[in-house]
Amino acid sequence: MRQLDPTQVKDLLDQLETRPLLLDVRESNEFAYCRIEGSLHVPMGEIVSRLNELDPDRQTVVICHHGMRSFQVAQFLESQGFSHVINLAGGIDAWAREVDHTVPRY
């Protein structure tokens, strides 16, 4: 798994023709409060039951609040054969501080 900081993820999103999946694993109330536009919301507790909705060959950036839950989910995805997994280091909080100041922080 790769760990990329928010600026690196933004560069990746800007440079690639095929946009990676932005997988937000926070709880519903967190996702409702703020998100990176275009993210797919699958709470951490639902990952196992919804694994079939994800493409193991697609580049996937996993997102949470500070980067810890997403790290755990990214590890799990790798153990299930996902080969292009990226953890957003610092989570959406770092994204809001470093990339998009319009994203509310909590």
Rounded Cα gap, residues 48 and 9, in angstroms: 25
pLDDT digits 0-9 by tens, 25-36:
999 999 999 999
Q: Which of 76, 77, 72, 71 is nearest to 90 (CA)?
A: 71
- Asked if pLDDT for residue 16 goes beyond 80, the answer is no
* Percentage of residues of the chain with pLDDT beyond 70: 100
Q: Is 34 a catalytic residue?
A: no
Query: Which H/E stretch holds residue 6?
Result: helix 6-15
Rounded Cα gap, residues 105 and 20, in angstroms: 24
Q: What is the mean pLDDT of residues 17-28?
A: 95
- Active-site entry in 42, 61, 64, 92: 64
In order of start, what are the domains of the chain with their CATH numbers?
A: 2-98 (3.40.250.10)
Phi-psi region of 93 (alpha: psi -120 to 50; beta: other; left: phi over 0): alpha
* Confidence class for position 61, pLDDT limits 50, 70, 90: very high
pLDDT digits 0-9 by tens, 33-50:
999 999 999 999 999 999
Q: What is the pTM of this model?
A: 0.96
